[in-house]
Amino acid sequence: MNTLPINTGDTAFMILCTAMVCLMTPGLAFFYGGLARKNNILTIMTQSFLSVGITTIMWVFGGFGLAFGRDIGGMIGNPADFFLMRHVTSFPNMFHGATIPFLMFFLYQLMFIVITVPLMTGAFAGRLNLKGYIILVVCWNLLIYFPVCHWIWGGGFLDQMGFRDFAGGAVIHTTAGFGSLACILTLGQRKIPMGERNQHSSLMAAAIGTGLLWFGWFGFNSGGALRADDQAVNAFGSTFIALAFAMVTWLIIAKVKGNGFDFVDVLTGSVAGLAAITPCAGYVEAKSAMLIGIIAGIVCHAAVDFRKKKQWDDALDVWGVHGMGGFTGTILIGIFATNSHLLTNPSSWYFLGIQVIGVIITAVYAYVLTTAILKSAMHFTTITTTKEEQEEGLDFFFFGNKRN
């Protein structure tokens, strides 16, 4: 008989956080849709919403077990443990939210994986057909998200080493960011004139999407505490502070470099701060979020500049913002975590080393496996779009005259 009591306050808090994270997927659709070319807006929004259906089915049919089931060799969980929601009940699980129903934890984690592959769509906008995207979602979740999630949050080898990621800087942003880098290098550049690549369909839609992402991110990060306590409040405050400092840092850099800045820089700079604070939010003091935000603005802006020099066609800078933001923030846990004292405690250097090693493993694994998925799929079927489709716009070819 289950003896763990349910805390109604914690449960209500997690219901709210889960709903907020759920809102981030349509928010991302608005954000990417608004920044995409006007003849690709429905396609990129459809990709975000498709993930809800496909990923949820995978989560129910063994995905949750692969991520959080009993550990198998430190690499993967047992899919049979929670297959078809077996043992996913209204009773708490002492290992995953001891004061909330286990079903609540199942749903909260589901919202995380639902948004992960859609994060990548901004990078390869216009280059992957619908069949290719579905193949990517299924294979990427199976071969990358489930294992990495287990390594870090499900008791896998990185978790056992002491690696920490509060709300997904490594599990979500690093994997999606470096997976998107693999996509753009494997799929190549868009077959449209350079001047048309940075056309935006609706900055108003992008602004609305950013606002929804901001709102949802509070649930994304605060919910990592799995209870309504001081850690959740700290994560909430750290999230907004990092957002603000990263945004202003990004704009200052753009201004100092003589290029000036536009509205998209305002949106992008804020998201860079959010990506960087995600792994740190519950582990650092809110005042440390100021420095994390500044560092995120500097690193992510430099990554975007580097991408431009290399002429990588990352349409919406997913690698530079999410990939490098999550990567950097994960390392910064080892410097700014409240229990890290690098100047006086030798064990803190060990913790920093674990963070560096862990996030490098995560990034390399996501990059290599994403490349393998795409090249394997390209060997057996056509997953890329033609020059004609890219020039005309995917909305016309996928939806005909149903565009609005």
Residue 131 lies in a domain: yes
| pLDDT classification of 339: cutoffs 50, 70, 90 | confident
Q: Which of 130, 108, 126, 49 is nearest to 227 (CA)?
A: 108
The stretch 291-300 carries a mean pLDDT of 98
Selected residue with higher pLDDT from 56 and 257: 56
The stretch 70-86 carries a mean pLDDT of 97
Q: Which of 296, 10, 9, 284 is nearest to 165 (CA)?
A: 284
The stretch 304-320 carries a mean pLDDT of 95
| pLDDT classification of 194: cutoffs 50, 70, 90 | low
Q: Which of 390, 322, 369 is nearest to 186 (CA)?
A: 369
Residue 1 lies in a domain: no
Residue 200 lies in a domain: yes
pLDDT at 117 over 60: yes
pLDDT of res. 2: 54
pLDDT at 173 over 70: yes
pLDDT at 163 over 50: yes
Residue 140 lies in a domain: yes
Residue 89 lies in a domain: yes
CB within 8 Å of 125: residues ≥ 6 apart: 32, 36, 37, 40, 44, 190, 315, 316
Find where tokens 């440390």 sit: 288
Question: What is the per-residue pLDDT across 196-246, written as a single tens digit (0 to 9) for each?
Answer: 677 888 999 999 999 999 999 999 999 999 999 999 999 999 999 999 999
Domain of 92, CATH number, reads 1.10.3430.10
Domain count, the chain: 1
Residue 393 lies in a domain: yes
Q: What is the pTM of this model?
A: 0.95
Residue 2 lies in a domain: no
Question: What is the per-residue pLDDT across 22-61, written as a single tens digit (0 to 9) for each?
Answer: 999 999 999 999 999 888 899 999 999 999 999 999 999 9
Domain enclosing residue 93, as ranges = 8-402
AA letter at 202: S
